[in-house]
């Protein structure tokens, strides 16, 4: 198993990059979004990988974060979604946007990904709704910020995000606004919601 490849970014193609590691050029399929975030050719990169083994070939799929790789692994467990389908979804949606779409049952958004039809999107939501959650987003952000959050605080944030999306705000902007609210002892969902709405006005 190849967990990641670190080396020089030797070339960038339409849906694949070549990474020179130890004198070997690894061809790694990546989403257009991820490729756009890479540094210039010649720079050192670290790409987390998934090795897909088929009867007639082996393919490497690459990701810039462990979270993206983790979500990709979940996507390809859904019947009808192969590695290229999973990559197509992550070209259209970030892992966090996908979590929101699954939670909200947003078939239209998921089926807007290349190669994903309505029935496949419905199946994805059904199979992953218990495996992807807003809590993952909030807990990861908390870990990155180096703060300690209690279960009650996390629940308040989740409810605030859900309330904002119910009001018609986008998934990403709702999460961003709630993240900006500095939690204090005793804050209710309504308190967080009011503060988040202020940030959304700017």
Tokens of 98: 């996908």
Q: Write down the pLDDT at residue 94.
A: 86
Q: Write down the pLDDT at residue 140.
A: 56
Q: Write down the pLDDT at residue 139.
A: 56
Q: Write down the pLDDT at residue 150.
A: 46
C-beta of residue 98 within 8 angstroms of C-beta of residue 134: no
Instruction: Please tell us whether the domain made up of 4-63 is placed in CATH 2.40.50.140.
Output: yes
Residues of the chain where predicted confidence (pLDDT) is lower than 70: 133-154, 171-172, 202
Q: Write down the pLDDT at residue 184.
A: 81
Q: Write down the pLDDT at residue 72.
A: 96
Per CATH, which fold does 66-128 belong to? DNA polymerase; domain 1 (1.10.150)
Tell me the domain boundaries of the chain.
4-63, 66-128, 134-200
């Amino acid at each position: 198993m190849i967990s990641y490849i670190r080396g020089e970014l030797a070339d960038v193609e339409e849906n694949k990059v070549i990474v020179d590691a130890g004198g070997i050029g690894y061809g790694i399929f990546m989403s257009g979004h991820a490729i756009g975030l890479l540094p210039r050719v010649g720079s050192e990169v670290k790409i987390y990988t998934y090795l897909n083994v088929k009867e007639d070939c082996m393919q490497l799929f690459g990701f810039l974060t462990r979270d993206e790789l983790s979500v990709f692994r979940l996507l390809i467990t859904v019947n009808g979604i192969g590695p290229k389908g999973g990559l197509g979804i992550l070209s259209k949606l970030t892992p966090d946007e996908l979590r929101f779409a699954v939670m909200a049952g947003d078939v239209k958004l998921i089926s807007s990904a290349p190669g994903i039809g309505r029935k496949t999107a419905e199946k994805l939501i059904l199979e992953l709704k218990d495996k992807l959650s807003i809590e993952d987003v909030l807990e990861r952000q908390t870990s990155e910020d180096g703060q300690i959050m209690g279960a009650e605080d996390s629940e308040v944030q989740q409810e605030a995000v859900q309330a904002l999306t119910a009001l018609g705000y986008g998934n990403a902007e709702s999460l961003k606004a709630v993240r900006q609210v500095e939690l204090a002892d005793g804050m209710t969902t309504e308190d967080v919601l009011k503060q988040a709405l202020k940030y959304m006005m700017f």
